[in-house]
Structure 1
Amino acid sequence: MTRTTPAVIVFDVNETLSDMSAMKARFVQVGAPAHLASAWFAALLRDGFALAAAGGTAPFSVIGSELLRQVLRDVPLMREPDEAVEHIMAGFGLLKLHSDVPEGVRALTGTGMRLVTLSNGSAEVARSLLAAAGLEGHFDALLSVEEAGAWKPMRAAYDYAAEACGVRPAELLLVAVHPWDIHGAAEAGLATAWLNRGGDTYPSYFTAPDYTVTRLAELATVLADAPDAAGADPSPDTAPDAPDSPAEADPAASADPTEGLVVVTESGTGGYAQQITVGPHRLTADEPRPIGTDTGPSPYDLVLAGLGACTSMTVRMYAERKKWPLAKVTVTLRHTRVHAKDCADCETVVGQIDHIERLLHFEGDLDAEQRQKLAEIADKCPVHRTLHSEIIVHTTVQDAAPARP
């Protein structure tokens, strides 16, 4: 299935964001063997799934606590049973993030996509986990299936997330380490990313993920390189109306074959003046005097205009998503060529290189942190990424039309 760039990235919490290896120590501290932690958590998920499959639900903490009493029943504990259960359950609020998460969250925040969590556990656990790492502010919402009335991987859980975010399920991307979560999300119409930190083999009986990464930060790069990343609508708020005609039902049936084409022809007035056609739009390009006749911007001016427009649009989209009071964006650009030896940040060391100076001006009641974040987002605009990536221009020569008799 072809996927567009998601509007919202949804993170599973337990084991995806949180490093639950510390729970083993909680078992040891009450006198239980460490290996019981894995068996208990697997049983917790099993019973939660069984309830969901039968149309029921119960809070994560209730299932976890009752199962702990069973698991610890025959263990010679160093604490009273109720105290031991409380001690272990309290461990969820003290968990740390996996080491790759902070970098990954910041990288994904930089894409301009909204971030939320969706956990089978409590939203408070997610809040304490992220707050301890100073990352809570990167998330628009911390969601729990307790509000959905059904655990993941039931469709209702993912539908709840889409409704809470104000988007269609297809505009969500679930990130999880659990193949069962990936499968459930895919069946509900979400895009999926499997975070495979351990080099595991994905089960063949589950729907395969759209993306597989070994570290969270890789996902930002993968999404930036997605074929339609630059052209996807970044912030749809509602589902589109049902198509009224076959052409609307099948976009390919009504697609303009010239869409996306830029056609440049000489103006016929002599000199270097060019007529540019972009769909219904008409522009002129020229060289400044004395080389040309200065009837329009130069080719480099048009490149700067594209970068500036893209920068302003990207910043505006991000500010709107965050509901920040950005009143106006102005981008001022200048192109020069400088000696490589004078550029401290350049890999090229010999000759001259192209240098673009970009000045951002944000109007509005923004604080210093918001302004800095918008400056970082400016570098995420697709044209900026294109200019910094390897570009391949494939050129062919069209056969001349046969002469008329």
Structure 2
Amino acid sequence: MPITTCIFDAYGTLFDVSAAARELAGQEGHADLAACWQKVAADWRLKQLEYTWLRATAGRHADFWQVTQDGLDFALEASSLTRAETRQALLDLYWELSAYPEVPGMLAALKSKGLATGILSNGTPAMLSGAVESAGIGDRLDHVLSVEDVGVFKPADVVYDMVGQAYGCARDEVLFVSSNGWDAAAASGYGFKTVWVNRAGMPQDRLWAAPDVVLSDLTTIPEIVG
């Protein structure tokens, strides 16, 4: 079947999850963060993801905003950053993360080809709405789907089921794009065509399936779907 629907993970795929720490580190009065912001950003993201997996496995769901705060608290403590104003500023910035520069044009190109587009994310509806609005890409997305509708995080199959339910398409009509190798692999095993956006040049996760295509950014997505 030809691809009719292009679905994107949000955080790390369309939106730069390092942007909050990087931006705050560049502001006056945050020299302590400036000295370690890359570590804070990396620890924050890692713990955010780990906590989604652990909660899903244990059946102890909490929404992604809670998980995001928990991950940040770990990251700040790991770098001995104790100021409450730093924590609050980072959380505030997370609601308006920058989109990667190629995102608006890439989405516009997909829409010009008549393809359905959307987001499938662990993020809460409110978080995703804030990020989409801040990036100015809402008019280029048909649906923004949140796992809060099913109460479990990726890579549970019930999350990927949401795409077919929202778009009325078959699994092999979907191109699913994620910056998380495990997410792209799980979606491939589910039956989607998949792209792993491997911006950091990481090794591929050893899982039950593998992404169909690996790219370094999103620029050529419209070419992949023809």
Give the alignment's TM-score, normalised by structure 2. 0.85
Shift of 1:39: 0.9
Counterpart residue type for residue 64 of structure 2? F
CA gap of 1:121–1:163, structure 2 versus 1, over 3 A, is same
**Mapped partners of 1:43, 1:179: distance in 2:** 16
Shift of 1:150: 1.2
**Mapped partners of 2:81, 2:213: distance in 1:** 45
Q: Secondary structure at the match of 2:169?
A: coil
**Preserved CA contact (<8 Å) 1:105 1:216:** no
The residue aligned with 1:144 is: 146
**Mapped partners of 2:193, 2:59: distance in 1:** 25
**Preserved CA contact (<8 Å) 2:117 2:142:** yes
**For 1:60-79, what aligned pairs fall within 5 Å after superposition?**
60-73=64-77, 75-77=80-82, 79=83
Shift of 1:13: 0.5
Counterpart residue type for residue 51 of structure 2? D
| Structure 2 residue corresponding to 1:18, chosen from 10, 15, 29 | 15
When Rg is computed on C-alpha atoms for both structures, the one with the higher figure is 1
**Preserved CA contact (<8 Å) 2:103 2:218:** yes
**Mapped partners of 2:81, 2:215: distance in 1:** 42
Shift of 1:190: 1.5
The residue aligned with 1:218 is: 220
**Mapped partners of 1:17, 1:84: distance in 2:** 25
CA gap of 1:194–1:72, structure 2 versus 1, over 3 A, is closer
The residue aligned with 2:4 is: 7
**Mapped partners of 1:73, 1:214: distance in 2:** 32
**Preserved CA contact (<8 Å) 1:179 1:206:** no
**Mapped partners of 2:212, 2:76: distance in 1:** 40
Q: Does 1:57 align with 2:54?
A: no
More strand by share: 1
**Preserved CA contact (<8 Å) 1:27 1:37:** no
Shift of 1:159: 0.9
Q: Does 1:47 align with 2:51?
A: yes
**Mapped partners of 2:59, 2:15: distance in 1:** 28
Shift of 1:197: 3.1
The residue aligned with 2:173 is: 171
Q: Secondary structure at the match of 1:19?
A: coil
CA gap of 1:141–1:65, structure 2 versus 1, over 3 A, is same
* Fraction of identical pairs, as percent: 27
Q: Secondary structure at the match of 1:5?
A: coil
Structure 1 gaps of 5+ residues are 225-405
**Mapped partners of 2:18, 2:76: distance in 1:** 19
**Preserved CA contact (<8 Å) 2:5 2:174:** yes
Q: Secondary structure at the match of 1:97?
A: coil
**1:203-247 Cα distance to aligned partner (Å, 9 max, x none):** 3545222233333231211221xxxxxxxxxxxxxxxxxxxxxxx
CA gap of 1:17–1:209, structure 2 versus 1, over 3 A, is same
**1:289-321 Cα distance to aligned partner (Å, 9 max, x none):** xxxxxxxxxxxxxxxxxxxxxxxxxxxxxxxxx
Give the alignment's TM-score, normalised by structure 1. 0.49
Counterpart residue type for residue 66 of structure 2? V
**Mapped partners of 2:195, 2:49: distance in 1:** 21
The residue aligned with 2:192 is: 190
**For 1:120-139, what aligned pairs fall within 5 Å after superposition?**
120-139=122-141
**Mapped partners of 1:65, 1:92: distance in 2:** 10
**Which structure would you say has the larger RCO, counting Cα contacts within 8 Å and 6 or more residues apart?**
2
CA gap of 1:72–1:156, structure 2 versus 1, over 3 A, is same
Shift of 1:122: 2.2
The residue aligned with 1:227 is: none
**For 1:90-109, what aligned pairs fall within 5 Å after superposition?**
90-109=92-111
More helix by share: 2
The residue aligned with 1:118 is: 120
* 117-126 or 45-54, larger mean C-alpha shift: 117-126
**For 1:275-294, what aligned pairs fall within 5 Å after superposition?**
none
**Mapped partners of 2:122, 2:146: distance in 1:** 6
RMSD: 2.3
**For 1:348-387, what aligned pairs fall within 5 Å after superposition?**
none
**Preserved CA contact (<8 Å) 2:182 2:205:** no
